[in-house]
Amino acid sequence: MINKIDNLRHSCAHLMAAAVLKLYPSAKPTIGPVIENGFYYDFDNLTISDSDFTKIEKEMKNIVKSWSSFEKIEVTYEEAKKAFKDNPYKLELIEELTLNHQPLTLYKSGEFVDLCRGGHIENPKEIKYFKLISVAGAYWRGNEKNKMLTRIYGTTFSTKEELDNYINLQEEAKKRDHRKLNKQLKIYMASDDIGQGLITLLPNGAIIAQELEKWAIETENKWGYIRVYTPHIVPEKLFKISGHVPYYVPSMFPPMRMSEKDKEDNEIYYLKPMNCAGHHMVYKSEPRSYRDLPLRIAEYGAVYRFEQSGELLGMMRVRGPIHQNDAHIFCTEEQAEEEFQKVMELHEYYYNTLGISKKDYYLSFATRGPKNKDKYTGNDEIWEKAEKIALKYIEKTGIPYKTEVGGAAFYGPKIDFNIKTVTGKVFSASTNQLDFFLPKAFGLTYIDKDGKEKTPVCIHRAPLGAHVRFIAFLMEHFAGNFPTWLTPIQVKVLPISEKHLDYAKKVGDRLKEEGIRVEVDVRGERLQAKIRDAQLEKVAYMLIVGDREEKEGTVAERGRSGKDYGAQPLDKFIENIKKEIKEKTIN
């Protein structure tokens, strides 16, 4: 089925490339695919900024007036090479297409000709409502060993209203970007002096992480999990059993060897990228019976991933430490369906509490692709069985899903929960995996009712993902206005003048005694400046105290939105905020 909006965007990518070449004749166009909500085109020998977008867009409007069609031209290998003799990137693509016995086609509009497989609108005059969004660096073919190119992102829609709505969402997304919000909220620190992709949670970020972990521990205790702590480094032999070596090595930190002085322990170790091996060894630490199953082993384990420097992004994409809300459920095959369903229900509980409804997320079902089977462990029989069972369980949940062929983990099919944020972005929040391979590889067994030795099934799950990544998502989801239970400073007490400091401190002390996170603003600033600063810090509540409040034992409550709730007894405020915190109310 032809997707008209994709064809419109593909056509607009050609139009943008034509305008760039008109304004910057020495630029070399490379590739320009359609992506979700838009398109991009990569250029070599081009240096621009977003301040140049206006003139490029103006040139696009001029050029499209003279375009009447997208003319398809079939060419030979020699003709294609001649057409792009001065463009090494197009020549590389021509060689690849020829080796793969794919036809070579050009598409011509006006004076612009591009190497293209097609997928255009019939009438170029339909390209009316477009916008260039951003410019960035990108390696040719996504390989950091290749040259860095200039990538221009853009979008187009069929109507002005659709384009305006999209632009408004993009502007809102910029305001909510966790890296921008961090300047106000002081959640984390990233420094090249510490190391690229190595995140330090500042006091405010540490509070949020502690609250999330406390919530997870309390919840998992109720849901029948046991907790462990496993080492940060793991010997290579375990990762060979698990399959991380060699399959996952490119995403792992380099191996380390213990001191040559210690002849008793001179094997190779790795910083662990996952907690699987440790939890499998916990299971293996003693004999197991069917009566012990399901065994649910949980840990907020610190893992490390060696992400490429070009892929690092604030707290969203880091190298470590990644404290992951991890657990592995070992169960019989008969128990797997019920356990899988419980994991889905646990996800739903967490998301509902955070105000994320079922209509706001969907599942990605990542399977093993028919090609490159050497990327995966296990045989066809195990994979077919795992994928069939996982799909059956997914369909039972009633949650919408998309199949992603070739995206599975090396040891089994993967189910990711994807949340569509208020700005339209999709955030991959957590994962859930059904694994028949690793328990067998580690030699895990249990004695069944019939006295026979069997291998358990393993379910990998991490509903709250990793601290740093999930906090970044919550920052953007709530625009920094965390629910009161997660807000680092829940209350700021603001004395009107210096003579009210003693009473303000008494209010602060009382709130601390009740377990409420509070600060007293002792600065000599005017009250309006204190209110403004507390709002910028997105403190949940401000309590203003002056002569009347001190005399009556009250506080004047104000919300971070600026709403004035008026004076009330301190005890009443404490009762209300404690209820709000306990119930994890979304305010």
Residue 558 appears among annotated catalytic residues: no
Catalytic option among 178, 328, 500, 560: 328
The closest of 430, 435, 442 to 457, measured between CA atoms, is 435
CA 4 to CA 20: how far, in whole Å?
Answer: 24
Tell me if 258 sits within 8 A of 234, measured CB to CB. no
Among candidate residues 28, 244, 324, 560, the one labeled active-site is 324
- DSSP-derived pairing of the beta strands 34-35 and 457-461: unpaired
Say which of 120, 460, 500, 560 is annotated catalytic: 460
- Helix, strand, coil content of the chain in percent (nearest 5): 40, 25, 35
Q: Distance (Å, rounded) from C-alpha 409 to C-alpha 322?
A: 18
Is 50 catalytic? The answer is no
Q: Which two three-digit tokens encode residue 343?
A: 């994991």
Judge residue 586's burial from the number of C-beta atoms within 10 Å of its C-beta, 0-12 exposed, 13-18 middle, 19 or more buried: middle
**Cα first-last separation, the chain:** 44
276 catalytic residue (yes or no)? yes
Q: Which of 414, 469, 538, 558 is catalytic?
A: 414
The arrangement of strands across the sheet holding 233-235 comes to 233-235, 268-271, 256-257
Task: From the candidates 305, 461, 477, 538, give the one annotated as an active-site residue.
Answer: 305
Bridge partner residues of 284 (DSSP) = none
Q: Which amino acid is at 178?
A: H
- Secondary structure class of 518 (helix, strand, coil): strand
Question: Could you say which of 114, 326, 435, 521 is catalytic?
Answer: 326
Catalytic: 178?
no
- Map residue 520 onto helix, strand or coil: strand
Sign of the torsion angle spanned by Cα atoms 241, 242, 246, 247:
positive
- Nearest alpha-carbon partner for 253 in 302, 205, 299: 302
Task: Please pick, among 9, 120, 244, 276, the residue that the annotation labels catalytic.
Answer: 276
Interatomic CA distance for residues 387 and 395, integer angstroms: 12
Nearest residue to 432 via CA among 472, 396, 381, 393: 393
CB-CB contact of 9 with 155 (8 Å)? yes
Token pair recorded at residue 545? 């105290």
Bridge-based pairing state of the strands 401-405 and 361-367: parallel
φ/ψ of 346, rounded to 5, equals -65, -45
Q: Cα separation of 243 and 277, whole Å?
A: 10
Active-site annotation holds for 517? no
Question: Could you tell me if 38 and 155 are in contact, meaning their C-beta atoms sit under 8 angstroms apart?
Answer: yes
Classify residue 421 by its DSSP letter: P
- Please give the DSSP secondary-structure letter assigned to residue 456: P
| Catalytic positions, written as ranges | 276, 305, 324, 326, 328, 414, 460
